[in-house]
Amino acid sequence: MKLTIKDVARAARVSVATASMAINNREGVSEKTRAKVLGVARELNYVPDHSARALVMQRSSVVGLMIPEIQNPFYSAIVDILTRIAEERGFTLLLGISNSNSRQEAEYVRMFLSRRVCGVIVVPMLANHPDISHLDMLRAADVPVVFCTENYALCEEPLVMCDFASGEYQMTRYLLDKGLTDFWFVSTDMDVQFARLRYDGFCRALREAGLAVNPERVMLLKSPRYRHAYDATDRIVDDLPQAVLCINDIMTMAIMKRMNERGLRIPRDVSVAGFDDVMFSELVSPPLTTVRQPLAAICEKTMEILEAKLAAGADQASVERGRTYLIQPELVIRETTL
């Protein structure tokens, strides 16, 4: 026996319409009546039904958040931050975990649609050339999409991301300034924008220092995963550079683990630098030198853009298509570099 606004109205001796207006802080209700309604509502522990509200208002306050994984601390941090931000602004997040699988992502898009989300935040999959035709369903239904952290090739929706190039540039500069010149760079398929950008930053720093990048020392892994990096480390160890720059912290930890097993001491024998500054980066030993993606700022901006698109409604001119918002990262020097 759920409590409806009718019960509140009856108890407050007003009409349903009045009760609704009072509860939603609309004007046209006397202060006295509003106070009474609110009092009764509180007393009865009335909670409005969001679905019914969404139904009549033709607009929900649910936003879909699509992520590729959740056990990966990078993504769980995003979920954590975005959940808080969304809640603060009166939205509720619906989570889709694609496991970097197009089919699953498509299924979650359908779920989002049937739950009538008012917008979707997409953190792209970890895959080379994923099938993203399901995004057309969102476009067809006029559901605004914002990319967070990264985007898919050829998508025109706005994107909020860390300035990867700048981050990798800064890190490379830092190592260069320490007198290191002999690097390995470990990355993934360069078709993926975020990999390419970090590489660009790395190259620029080298170029400015008058050094050439040695393509034999750029390792391109199939996907940016722990396992791949772990397995590939032996090649690096055999060559033993002065420093290894790696595209994300998860893989960096894999490399460190393998180096450890091979008897190398970090940073005495090799320096190692990551990217992301995931929660565990600080807890590993030795704690990881890395580039911090300012996730709080990124998520904040993402939500802001989404709200702007929502407010714009039909006349979408207000948010430029294809616009990218870059957030500046921050070097965090810990103990894996000397």
Partner DNA sequence: CCAGAAATTTGAAACGTTTCAGGCGAAGGG
Partner DNA sequence: CCCTTCGCCTGAAACGTTTCAAATTTCTGG
223 vs 226: CA distance, rounded Å: 9
Residue 118 in contact with DNA, rule: CB under 7 A? no
Q: Are 229 and 272 in contact (CB under 8 A)?
A: no
Residue range at the interface with a second copy (CB under 8 A); choices 17-25, 51-59, 164-172, 266-274: 51-59
Question: How many other C-beta atoms lie within 10 A of the C-beta of residue 112?
Answer: 24
12 to 41, contacts with DNA by CB under 7 A?
14-18, 20-21, 23-24, 26, 28-33
Residue 154, classified by CB atoms within 10 Å of its CB into exposed (0-12), middle (13-18) or buried (19+), is exposed
- The single residue among 106, 111, 220, 240 that binds a second copy, judged by CB under 8 A, is 111
Return the range that interacts with a second copy (CB under 8 A); candidates 14-22, 144-152, 168-176, 275-283.
275-283
Q: Is the peptide bond before 267 cis (omega within 30 degrees of 0)?
A: yes
What's CA 314's distance to the chain center, in Å? 26
User: Applying CB under 8 A, which of residues 76, 102, 193, 242 lies at the interface with a second copy?
Assistant: 76
Residues that bind a second copy (rule: CB under 8 A) add up to a total of 51
Rounded least distance, CB 270 to DNA, Å: 59
Please report whether residue 115 would count as binding a second copy according to CB under 8 A: yes
Binding mask 4-43 for a second copy (x = CB under 8 A): ----------------------------------------
6 binds DNA (CB under 7 A): yes
Q: Which value, to the nearest 10 degrees, does the dihedral of the CA atoms of residues 123, 230, 234, 267 take?
A: 80
- By beta-carbon proximity to DNA, the closer residue of 16 and 180 is 16
Nearer to DNA, 4 or 242 (CB): 4
Q: Which of residues 48-67 bind DNA (CB under 7 A)?
A: 48-49, 52-53, 55-58
Residue 4 lies near DNA (rule: CB under 7 A): yes
Q: Which residues contribute to the site for DNA (CB under 7 A)?
A: 2, 4-6, 14-18, 20-21, 23-24, 26, 28-33, 46-49, 52-53, 55-58
